[in-house]
Structure 1
Amino acid sequence: MKEIEIKSVLQVYDSFDDLSKDVQDLMKQSIMIRDKAYAPYSQFLVGAAILLENGEVVLGNNQENASYPSGLCAERTAIYHAGANYPGVSIKMMALTAKSLKHKLESPIPPCGACRQAIAEYEQKQDAPIEIYFMGETGKVAKSSSLSNLLPLIFDNSYL
């Protein structure tokens, strides 16, 4: 047996104010759309803002349903909208933010596993990494230069 070590590399900014203006603007859009999320069951609001290579910004938020598997996360809402409405246009960057109506979230909240897999599909499809910035309601902001930092053992179509 051989043991291997897998590392993930993230950059962490102490605050929103430490981000570049372009990233701040995208994050502000994710905050705006987050606060419009439909989350009556979890009280957990998530917003996603995606910057496309053509300069368009696509927004998404989580949409819950009483039949829990029928809801959809903000990241997949946005990325599928981008894929449907801007086919062939690469995704440059994503800004994600989460807020709980039950308690304050001050640490970066990464995408869930299903969203990581969906983002991985788009990275592979466009053959280019997607920068992902994520935060809670306040506090530090994390940046991953590629989804592979968040999901190092990606399942992709090479296995099919």
Structure 2
Amino acid sequence: MKKLTLTADITVYPDIESLPDAMGDLMRGAVTAREKAYAPYSKFKVGAALLLEDGSVVYGNNQENAAFPSGLCAERVAVFHAGATHPGKTIKALAITAASELRAVTEAIAPCGGCRQALAEYEYRQNSPIAVYFMGDRSEVYLAASVKELLPLVFTKDDLLNK
């Protein structure tokens, strides 16, 4: 038997104003997207903004449904929209922010497992890292330089192949 220890490197910024200008703008775009989220059941709104290699920005927000498994997270709305409307464009960065109508969100909210896997697929496919910035509505901003920092034992198409 052996023990495997996994670590993640996360950079922490005190607030949006501390981010580099382009990333601050991206996060402010995610805040705007968050405000447009459809979350009547959880009252937990999430916004996402993707920066593409050509400078384009694609937005997403969570979309709930009374049949709960039918909803979709903000991150996947954004990344799937980018894949559909900007095929082949490299994703450089993702900004995510969450807020609740029921309480202050004072801790950075990372993507859920399903979103991490979807983001990892794009990162793997483009063969370059996607910087992931995430925050609550009243929190520090966390930066993971790559999805691999958030999902170190990622499942990829290589796992499906007999290598």
Shorter chain as denominator, the TM-score bin is over 0.9
2:113 corresponds to 1:113? yes
Cα distance in 1 for partners of 2:158, 2:20 equals 36
The DSSP-based 3-state class of the residue aligned with 1:26 is helix
Structure-2 residue corresponding to 1:2? 2
User: Is the 8 Å Cα contact of residues 16 and 139 (structure 1) preserved in structure 2?
Assistant: no
* Amino acid of the structure 1 residue aligned with 2:89: V
Listed as ranges, the gaps of 5+ residues in structure 1 are none
Listed as ranges, the gaps of 5+ residues in structure 2 are none
Cα distance in 2 for partners of 1:4, 1:76 equals 30
Q: Spell out the pairing of 1:129-140 with structure 2 (5 A cutoff).
A: 129-140=129-140
Structure-2 residue corresponding to 1:41? 41
After TM superposition, give the deviation of residue 41 of structure 1 in Å.
0.4
After TM superposition, give the deviation of residue 139 of structure 1 in Å.
2.0
Give the CA RMSD over aligned residues.
0.5
After TM superposition, give the deviation of residue 67 of structure 1 in Å.
0.2
After TM superposition, give the deviation of residue 80 of structure 1 in Å.
0.1
The percent of aligned pairs where both chains have the same amino acid is: 51
* Amino acid of the structure 1 residue aligned with 2:3: E
How many residues of Structure 1 are paired with residues of Structure 2 in the alignment? Answer: 160
After TM superposition, give the deviation of residue 35 of structure 1 in Å.
0.5
The DSSP-based 3-state class of the residue aligned with 1:76 is helix
Structure-2 residue corresponding to 1:82? 82
User: Is the 8 Å Cα contact of residues 61 and 73 (structure 1) preserved in structure 2?
Assistant: yes
Cα distance in 2 for partners of 1:15, 1:47 equals 17
